[in-house]
Structure formats: C-alpha cells, structure tokens
C-alpha cells in the first residue's frame, strides 16, 4: 500500500516558472524561485480547505483545488534562501509554501498537487490520442486510394 501520514515522503512534481513541490509527510512544500527585489509585502496568499491562491507582485503563482483537503489554519508561506551550501554567495530568494493535510495520518498526497493540473494533463493526453487516431485513419484512406 501507498505510504500515508508521516511516511508520505518524496518528490512531488514540477510546474511552470521553476515551481517544484515535495511530500514531507504531513505537509507538501511548494518551492518557487523569486526575483531579488521581492519582499514579504509582495506576497499574497489565501488558504482554504479546498482552494489555494498565492501571488507574487500581483502575478498568480499558485491557484487551484488541492487533491486533498487542507488544514487551512496550519498552511503558511515564507521567503528562504536557496543555498547550495552554507553561506553560498549565489543563494537566490525562494518562496516556500507549506500546505498541511487535513486528516494527515490517514491520507496520501495525490500524484498531482492541484486537480486542475491533473485534468489539464489528462485532457492533453486525450487530445493527443484523438489526433493520433485521426492521422491513422487518414493514412488508411490514403493507402486504400493508392491501392486502387
């Protein structure tokens, strides 16, 4: 069985704009690089049980319906330095968004952080398969015409 609760660890996935997320047991941490000039006043975040919205300097960074219910009172964000090593002079600012599971000991983080992302991926796959089938039909018709 899939690990749940504190055992739900590992990579989560990636998204646009350099966003990546990881499973850390009771929480998922979403990490996004920030421009050097961003301050805490430039970050706007709203956490709900079934919805997340995070923007940076007015540009939406995260928006969607998580694949599980969130404990909105425990969700938070912070600006941290992404260092390759302690005292790294090239460290870049990074936004860390901590999303906390509701019923954390009983559920597992889904494959996709947001349902909209999963639906988008599935829709694109369906469209690709439909296009492949259409090309196959065209090839069969062309082959029949060549044989006649």
For the chain, give the number of residues.
148
Q: Model pTM?
A: 0.71
- 51-107 pLDDT, tens digit each: 999 999 999 988 888 888 899 999 999 998 877 667 777 778 899 999 998 886 777
Residues 6+ apart with CB under 8 A from 80: 93, 94, 96
Q: Considering only CA atoms, which of 59, 49, 67 is closest in space to residue 112?
A: 67
Burial class (CB in 10 A: 0-12, 13-18, 19+), 53: middle
Q: Residue 107: what pLDDT?
A: 75
DSSP E strands in the chain: the ranges are 9-14, 20-24, 27-33, 43-47, 52-56, 59-64, 76-82, 92-100
């Amino acid at each position: 069985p899939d690990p749940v609760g504190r055992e739900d660890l590992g990579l989560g996935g990636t998204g646009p704009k350099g966003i990546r997320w990881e499973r850390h047991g009771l929480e998922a941490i979403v990490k996004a690089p920030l421009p050097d000039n961003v301050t805490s006043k430039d970050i706007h975040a709203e956490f709900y049980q079934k919805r997340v919205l995070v923007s940076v300097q007015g540009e939406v960074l995260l928006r969607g319906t998580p694949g599980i219910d969130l404990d909105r009172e425990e969700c938070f964000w912070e600006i941290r330095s992404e260092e390759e090593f302690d005292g790294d002079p090239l460290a870049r600012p990074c936004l860390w968004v901590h999303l906390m599971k509701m019923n954390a000991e009983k559920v597992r983080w889904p494959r996709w952080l947001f349902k909209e992302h999963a639906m988008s991926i599935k829709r694109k796959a369906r469209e690709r398969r439909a296009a492949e089938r259409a090309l196959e039909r065209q090839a069969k018709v062309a082959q029949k015409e060549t044989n006649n």
